[in-house]
């Protein structure tokens, strides 16, 4: 149903019970009978069966939706899978950032201690040097 927001499609959707069907907007309801068709369709509705968007929908139903397909083409199950995958990626990035922050903080403390040691060495009195070495 999300496709109708993005594209001007030549059909209307009808849901009756548990059956979804499409009907051409230009449907004249003149039935053309054909031995090849399981059901009777008007010529305008029959043209929908060769529409490129409709064929793409059938292909995604039969073959499945690729994970990089735009969200408007994803079914609900596909959307939840995308959300779970992206949540895991964000969590991994957060933990990586947290670990990097902790490493930097630890190294900054070591650098501070080193600076204090160098300053104490430079001090001619040497009184603070004894406390830093222990």
DSSP 71-109: GGG--HHHHHHHHHHHHHHHHHHHHHHHHHHHHHHHHHH
Q: What does the block give as tokens for 33?
A: 């009978």
Q: Is the pTM of this model over 0.85?
A: no
Q: In the predicted model, is pLDDT for residue 128 greater than 70? A: no
Q: What is the pLDDT of residues 43-60, one digit of tens each?
A: 888 888 888 888 888 888
């Amino acid at each position: 149903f999300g496709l109708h927001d993005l594209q001007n499609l030549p059909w209307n959707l009808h849901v009756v019970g548990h059956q979804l069907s499409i009907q051409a907007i230009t449907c004249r309801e003149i039935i053309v009978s054909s031995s090849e068709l399981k059901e009777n369709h008007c010529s305008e509705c029959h043209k929908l069966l060769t529409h490129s968007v409709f064929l793409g929908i059938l292909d995604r139903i039969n073959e499945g939706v690729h994970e990089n397909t735009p969200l408007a083409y994803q079914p609900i199950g596909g959307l939840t899978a995308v959300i779970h995958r992206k949540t895991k990626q964000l969590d991994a990035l957060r933990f990586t950032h947290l670990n990097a922050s902790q490493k930097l903080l630890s190294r900054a403390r070591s650098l501070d201690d080193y600076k204090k040691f160098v300053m104490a060495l430079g001090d001619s009195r040497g009184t603070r040097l004894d406390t830093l070495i222990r």
